[in-house]
Amino acid sequence: MNFGSHVDGIVAVSAALVNAATPGERQGRAYELPPAGQLATEIGEALQLSSRYEGPPAANRVRAFVEVAEVVRPVYERLDSGDVDAAAHAVNGLLARYGARPKLERHDGQPWHLHFHGPAAEDRSGWGGSVAMALATVLGSDYADRLGVCAAPSCDRVFVDVSRNGTRRFCSEACQNRVKAAAHRARQRP
């Protein structure tokens, strides 16, 4: 499954940012935001999923990435609950908030492709416009159901399903294995 090479990377970044920069639950445990230095490293790792990787953000930009993650999480949650209309309205809000404007760019030996940046005042992370546009591209396609929230108990991390059959339900193999092991134990009980 492919949304388009550049969109694939940005959508993957959006999920990784949500997972790194929003509190909740991860793999059966509470997840709190790590200290600023570690959070910057995790955000940098999320950004590596795109060809636009810039390295870990400077300390003064970390909060801007947390803000992007906080406003993107509801898109995944609404899609996971089947409310595509509410997710689309949320993405429209992101497009307006970040002032996403298209611009053709070429870098790192790649062919020309669209980037979406907003004015620096609205998009202090430099990624909000791109994330909003990538999510809009997915929601405007037949693949909106490919974005979701982990189905494992005590885990609210998000995922992008790029599998061929579109049946992914978990954020990671660890959560999938946790659920399978619990089901196996339940079947073994008399």
Instruction: CATH number of the domain at 59, please.
Output: 1.10.3300.10
What is the distance between the alpha carbons of residues 186 and 68, in angstroms, rounded to a whole number? 40
Instruction: Work out the pLDDT band at 6, boundaries 50, 70, 90.
Output: confident
Domain span at 72 = 5-188
Are the CB atoms for 7 and 15 separated by under 8 Å? no
Phi and psi, residue 107, nearest 5°: -155, 165
Question: Looking at residue 112, what is its pLDDT?
Answer: 85
| Amino acid at site 13 | V
What are the pLDDT digits (tens) for 102-149?
888 887 787 887 778 777 777 888 899 999 999 999 999 999 999 999
pTM: 0.88
What are the pLDDT digits (tens) for 72-110?
999 999 999 999 999 999 999 999 999 988 888 887 787
Give mean pLDDT, residues 29-54. 89
Among residues 44, 54, 53, 50, the alpha carbon closest in space to that of 4 is found at: 50
Indicate the number of domains in the chain.
1
Q: Taking the CA atoms of 136, 139, 143 and 149 in sequence, report the sign of the dihedral they define.
A: positive
Question: Looking at residue 2, what is its pLDDT?
Answer: 63
Question: Looking at residue 185, what is its pLDDT?
Answer: 80
Helix 62-80 × helix 36-47 angle, to 10°: 60
Question: Looking at residue 111, what is its pLDDT?
Answer: 82
Task: Work out the end-to-end distance of the chain between its first and last CA atoms, rounded to an integer number of angstroms.
Answer: 42
What is the distance between the alpha carbons of residues 163 and 161, in angstroms, rounded to a whole number? 6
